[in-house]
Chains A and B, each alone.
Chain A
Amino acid sequence: MNDVHNLWVYLSASPLLHLTLTLIAYQFGEWLSRRTRRHPLCNPVLIAIVVLVAVLKLTDTDYKNYFSGAQFVHFLLGPATVALAIPLYHAYEHIRSSAAAIVVALVSGCLFAALSAIAVGYACGGSMVTLLSLAPKSATTPIAMGVADAIGGSASLTAILVILTGIFGAMLSTWVLDLARVKDNRARGFATGLAAHGIGTAYKLRVNQVAGAFAGLAMGLNGFATAALVPILVHWLRL
């Protein structure tokens, strides 16, 4: 028994254990998501986070210790964000042919997303950290986290909020768009991608090809727009 304890003490202090656990938890989430035919609630990221938090709480491991292993995965977010330039480049033709509509919808949608999140949060008595973590929630996770960090929010709270936004967006977008009488598939996709980033985009891709392409386009562009506009908006609001 003592040997097992010693082994555990040794392993839990090395980065290897938590790096491996992170990959296994995500693989489990992927498996569950596939088994439920990609049900929006069975999001692999959400499942992995729930499993890992449960394991860390049960083994009384603090986040700092976990992150010393998981940081190797986390580090790749930077180059992956740069890599988003490639799908965006593929959508370049689409951008050029309806540039005016896209720019107007992008800038107004991006500002609307941040302002409405701050306004509703403020009206319900949210603290400053919460408001600043909510502001970039419609952008794709690596960008939203970077922006939250830069404007004084909490990057890890933002990560969860962004994922939940994507899941709700995938679940509710069809209903809202029908209600708002948006019939053009390009507009339906663009709205979902802008508001609910990658998770919404993945969902739209399965429903309709055109909607999916515009969702991916909106997701990429809103990453730029959020990174550029939300810090200015926050500065202007003097938050």
Chain B
Amino acid sequence: MSPLSAFIVLLVCQLIGTAIQQAFALSIPGAVIGMLLLFACLVLRGKHDDGLGKTANLLLRYLPLLFVPAGVGVMNQFGLIAKEWLPITASLVLSLLATIAFTGIVMQVGLRLTDRRSKPKS
């Protein structure tokens, strides 16, 4: 698959996802529905095209760059941040630490149970 075809696949998935989101007035972003559609297609086909993988990797390699324009929008939020720095900072740090600990413990207990049931892996 050529890079152009791969890009078209990604855009068509996003387009269908956005159409579904609009048609059913969903609060899930259209691109996420598009990702689900592509994931479902890959699982059903049982493989993925090399060209698609290459184009996806190129996009994902620069994924952090794509956040920058939206992030710069923070310049319009300085008032809000100055006013609410305490709830923002407290929520950010406490929720993060609690979530890491909580998820780690749940996952560890869950894995212990599933490992016991399945045969040991090579």
A residues apposed to B, CB below 8 Å: 22-23, 25-26, 44-45, 48-49, 52-53, 56-57, 63, 66-67, 70-71, 73-74, 76-89, 92, 97-102, 104-105, 108-109, 112-113, 116-118, 120-127, 129-131, 134, 137-138, 141-143, 145-147, 149-151, 154-157, 159-165, 168-169, 172-173, 176-177, 179-180, 182-184, 186-188, 190-192, 194-196, 198, 218, 223-224, 227-228, 231
Q: Is the CB of A98 within 8 A of B111?
A: yes
Contact between chains at B92 and A138 (CB < 8 Å)? no
Residue of A nearest to B36 (CB): A224
Nearest to A67 among chain B residues (CB) is: B69
B74 near A156: Cβ-Cβ < 8 Å: yes
Q: Report chain A residues within 8 Å CB of B99.
A: 109, 112-113, 116, 138, 191, 194-195
User: How many angstroms from the CA of A121 to the CA of B115 in the assembled complex?
Assistant: 38
| Shortest Cβ distance from A120 into B: residue | B91
> Given A124-B91, A145-B70: A231 and B27 within 8 A (CB)?
yes
Q: Quick one: which of B43, B57, B71, B80 has the most chain A CB within 10 A?
A: B71
Interchain residue pairs A-B with the least CB separation, the first 4: A156-B73, A146-B29, A101-B110, A126-B87
What's the dominant secondary structure at chain A's contact region?
A: helix
Is B56 a contact of A101 with CB atoms below 8 Å?
no
Are B107's CB and A190's CB within 8 A? yes
Instruction: Decide yes or no: A156 and B35 within 8 Å by CB, A97-B118, A169-B100, A196-B100 being known contacts.
Output: no
Complex-state Cα separation, A131 to B95, whole angstroms:
12
Nearest chain B CB to A44 CB, angstrom units: 6
Known: A86-B48, A86-B57, A156-B76. 16 other contacts (CB 8 A): A22-B69, A26-B65, A53-B72, A63-B76, A80-B60, A81-B29, A81-B32, A88-B39, A124-B91, A127-B80, A130-B80, A134-B92, A156-B77, A157-B74, A159-B74, A192-B100
The verdict on B67 contacting chain A, using a C-beta distance below 8 Å, is yes
Contact A82 B111 (CB under 8 A): no
Query: Which residues of A are found within 8 Å of B67, using beta-carbon distances?
Result: 45, 77, 141-142, 159, 162-163
Contacts of A176 in B (CB 8 A): 97, 100-101, 104
7 contacting pairs across A/B (C-beta < 8 A)? A104-B110, A112-B98, A138-B96, A145-B70, A154-B80, A184-B107, A224-B32
Q: In the bound complex, how far is the Cα of B100 from the Cα of A173, in angstroms?
A: 7
| Contact yes or no, A142 B31, CB < 8 A | yes
From B56, B95, B105, contact of A116 by CB (8 A): B95
Name A61's closest neighbour in chain B (CB-CB).
B75
Q: Are B60 and A84 touching (Cβ within 8 A)?
A: yes
Q: Are A188 and B104 touching (Cβ within 8 A)?
A: yes
* B82 lies within 8 A of chain A by Cβ: no
Smallest CB separation, B122 vs chain A (Å): 12
Nearest Cβ on chain A to B38's Cβ, whole angstroms: 4
Q: Residue-by-residue, is B1-43 near A (CB-CB < 8 Å gives 1, otherwise 0)?
A: 0000001001101100100000000011111101110110011
Q: A79-B59, A169-B100 are in contact. Are A101 and B111 (CB under 8 A)?
A: yes
Closest to A45 in B: B64
Q: Please give me the residue from chain A that is nearest to B49 by CB atom.
A: A86
Chain B residues with Cβ below 8 Å from A187 are: 104-105, 107-108, 111
